[in-house]
């Protein structure tokens, strides 16, 4: 793991042409996360239910929650609960990196079908939710399972994505947008928008909302590996609204350095989650370091 991180940092230095502009992992932690994100507030970001509760209060759109399972005995109602919906997402409240998420797109007989074509019997879904409750996909020893609305992404984003939901990652510091990218699922990432699992990242120009560069597993690219579509110069729909949603979320929570993940639906931005420890690979994706941008934002406060 350390060798991988060292390699990423080396590539960032080479691409930036100036190591002083690149924010390292230690600098991120010591200069931005620890001083600005008090640990007592971490649960707000680490628990998707708490995140939703806070964002709903300030009018920020989040996926609708259908049902929450906190105890195993509640699973006796699972068949009845799921029968109320034709499509949905199952996810752990405290999960990270896309672990434990199943996106159901429909039903065939008594089997549920995921967006990737995997079939799940009611017993398999019950077992999966049981694993979530055990905390297999979370930070702690136990968790809650959320069944929520499936987001239908905007057609302009759908054509860039392979079998999964893309999201726009926005880094904010003291409610100021520092850098952004769109993360696009691939067959390698198994439909997850996680760079370390093989998703494509495309850097976004903050003013125009258009993609300027792209990266796949740390290497530059210009086209999606599965679909073959061009990834440079693509405009993100509802761009101003996406930025506004990120800033409203940052203003609503007592964490000063965060990553906000936003899905772009047919009706506009929907916030998926808040990340209190956003990664630094976004610099590689954008071919630019964040350190000088962060320092400049401090000088304008």
Q: What would the pLDDT profile of 186-222 be if each residue is shown by its tens digit?
A: 988 888 898 998 999 999 999 999 999 999 999 999 9
The pLDDT of residue 12 is above 90:
no
The fraction of the chain above a pLDDT of 70, given in percent, is 93
Mean pLDDT of all residues in 50-75:
95
Mean pLDDT of all residues in 272-299:
94
How far apart, in whole angstroms, are the C-alpha atoms of residue 23 and residue 295?
A: 11
- pLDDT in the model for residue 181: 98
Give the other-Cβ count within 10 Å of 106's Cβ. Answer: 11
Give the other-Cβ count within 10 Å of 299's Cβ. Answer: 6
Residue 203 phi/psi, 5° resolution? -70, 145
Strand extents, DSSP E, the chain: 65-69, 88-92, 102-108, 111-114, 119-120, 145-148, 167-173, 176-184, 200-204, 211-216, 219-220, 257-265, 268-275
Q: What would the pLDDT profile of 167-191 be if each residue is shown by its tens digit?
A: 999 999 999 999 999 999 998 888 8
Mean pLDDT of all residues in 49-69:
95
**pLDDT grade for 22, boundaries at 50, 70 and 90:** very high
Domain 2-60+153-299 sits in CATH at 3.30.470.20
Q: 264 in the Ramachandran plot: left (φ > 0), alpha (ψ -120 to 50) or beta?
A: beta
């Amino acid at each position: 793991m350390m060798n991988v991180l060292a390699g990423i940092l080396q590539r960032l230095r080479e691409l930036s042409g100036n190591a002083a502009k690149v924010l390292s992992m230690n600098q991120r932690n010591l200069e931005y996360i620890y001083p600005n994100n008090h640990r007592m507030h971490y649960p707000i970001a680490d628990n998707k239910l708490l995140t939703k509760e806070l964002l709903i209060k300030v009018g920020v759109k989040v996926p609708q929650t259908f049902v929450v399972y906190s105890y195993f005995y509640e699973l006796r109602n699972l068949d009845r609960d799921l029968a109320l919906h034709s499509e949905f997402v199952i996810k752990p409240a405290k999960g990270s990196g896309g672990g434990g998420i199943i996106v159901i797109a429909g039903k065939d007989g008594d089997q549920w079908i995921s967006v990737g074509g995997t079939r799940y019997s009611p017993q398999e879904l019950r077992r999966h939710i049981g694993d979530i409750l055990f905390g297999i996909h979370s930070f702690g020893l136990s968790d809650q399972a959320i069944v929520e609305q499936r987001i239908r992404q905007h057609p302009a984003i759908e054509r860039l994505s392979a079998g999964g939901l893309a999201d726009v990652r926005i880094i904010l510091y003291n409610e100021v947008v520092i850098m952004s990218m769109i993360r696009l699922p691939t067959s390698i990432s198994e439909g997850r928008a996680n760079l370390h699992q093989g998703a494509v990242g495309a850097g976004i120009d903050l003013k125009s909302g258009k993609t300027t560069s792209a990266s796949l597993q740390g290497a530059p690219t210009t086209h999606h590996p599965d679909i073959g579509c061009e990834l440079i110069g693509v405009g993100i729909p509802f761009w101003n609204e996406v930025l506004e949603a990120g800033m409203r979320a940052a203003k609503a929570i007592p964490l000063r350095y965060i990553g906000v993940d936003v899905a772009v639906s047919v009706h506009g931005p929907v916030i998926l989650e808040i990340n209190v420890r956003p990664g630094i690979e976004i610099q590689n994706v954008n071919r630019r370091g964040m350190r000088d941008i962060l320092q400049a934002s401090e000088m304008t406060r």
